[in-house]
Chain A
């Protein structure tokens, strides 16, 4: 399950299974009740992410 999302400054999105921060903090399926550096957990894909993903597929 890829439930970690991040929207980058250039408008693109990332979708991740796990994130490890430089100080050792981890965001994954067990620990995700926080946001950091734009990374956040969402049980359902954010609408804006879905729209971006669809736009990417349409451009292929």
Chain B
């Protein structure tokens, strides 16, 4: 890992040390941008604090519990799941697995027990905590657990691999947390293999899992309340059929420490409700016809890449109330979209918004940029109605670029600008038929 400090401006230089090692000089009391990189040049996620002349950096890097049992290697050429499964003290510890294919399926439960079957296969095994050979670990919740490494092998005919079958012997229903800690799963089936670990509409979840590696053609439909998840590798699209598919997600990165790109093929209303992402890569939802409140109530989000929701008709409340949001990539929008109302309401730290596409169908911009006190750049291609950027810092060239991006006003339309921009040219907008008001 290396640290590169980018600073501009010169006042009184200060020698700076990073974790005790001198790294150079920066101006005293001057904001610095710290970029953390690994040896390959990948930018690492982390935080830095400059106190006096000492710069302390902390990398947001997940550390696998050193007491956890190692998992066998799985490659994208395999049809296999390996997973670290917690066996809790004083618990019923029954694992059920269903492999829906036509070929031979085998399972090693990790405690000396194996089984195999052909076709649509059901496996069930109850662990005995006292006989499982493993280190004993105390979970932060205070409960002791041992571990087994479960291996499931199948072929490329498997459509669904269900490992969310920990059931209560009392009720026969899945009523509790699935004790998977670390899972690597791969499939070569060209049409994809669905891995089921946790799903909405039921009470079980994967809240103990810290790492999930999905290789090749494995995909997940929904992944609910995975609040402990730190590492997620996604090989192909998620196929969701409902809302809130990533509800309660932890602040995940991929195996390289980078924000995760997510592609979802279903609806995305309320998708990230109660999630804790701070940084997300590109987000794509090709088939979603609405993005209502997709990122709403998701106040931890600081950065997100390009947002590609081309068929969405509503962007209402898209990022409403994202008080930590500092950076958003391009947001794809088409003439199908009718509203961006409150889409960026109360985004006080965000500096740039670039809608990308055709906004000619938008008929409602109310409160879209209220309290966007840091906004310096905004592009709204082909928009034909008025809007209010009174609370923003848009001025100079970015203001002219904004005017240029607009379409011809549909009738009497008003653009409300900050009062401090009085006197700046408005001809580009007025020529398109807009009335300019200063507030």
A residues lining the B interface (CB < 8 Å): 2, 4, 6, 10, 12, 14-22, 24, 37, 39
Contacts and interface: CB of A to CB of B under 8 A. Distances in A.
Nearest 5 interchain pairs by C-beta: A20-B436, A16-B437, A18-B438, A19-B437, A22-B430
Interface in B337-378: 366
B435 A14 contact: no
B439 A17 contact: yes
Interface residues of B, number: 17
B404 interface: no
B422 A22 contact: no
Contacts of B131: none
A20 B439 contact: no
Contacts of A10: 366
A36 to B, nearest CB: 9
B422 A18 contact: yes
Contacts of B414: 6, 14, 37
Contacts, number: 46
Contact of B437 (A12, A22, A24, A39): A39
Given A17-B422, A20-B426, A37 B439 contact: no
Contacts of B436: 19-20
A22 B386 CA distance: 13
Contact of A20 (B409, B412, B433, B435): B435
B419 interface: yes
Given A14-B416, A24-B430, A19 B438 contact: yes
Nearest to B433: A22
A10 B366 CA distance: 10
Interface string B403-414: 000000100101
Contacts of A24: 430
A10 to B, nearest CB: 7
Contact of B439 (A2, A21, A39): A2
A17 B416 contact: no
Nearest to B412: A37
Contacts of A39: 435, 437
Nearest to B416: A14
Contacts of B433: 22
Contacts of A17: 419, 422, 438-439
B349 to A, nearest CB: 21
Contacts of B437: 4, 6, 14, 16, 18-20, 39
B419 A19 contact: no
Contacts of B435: 19-22, 37, 39
A54 to B, nearest CB: 18
Contacts of A19: 435-438
A14 B426 contact: no
Contacts of A6: 414, 437
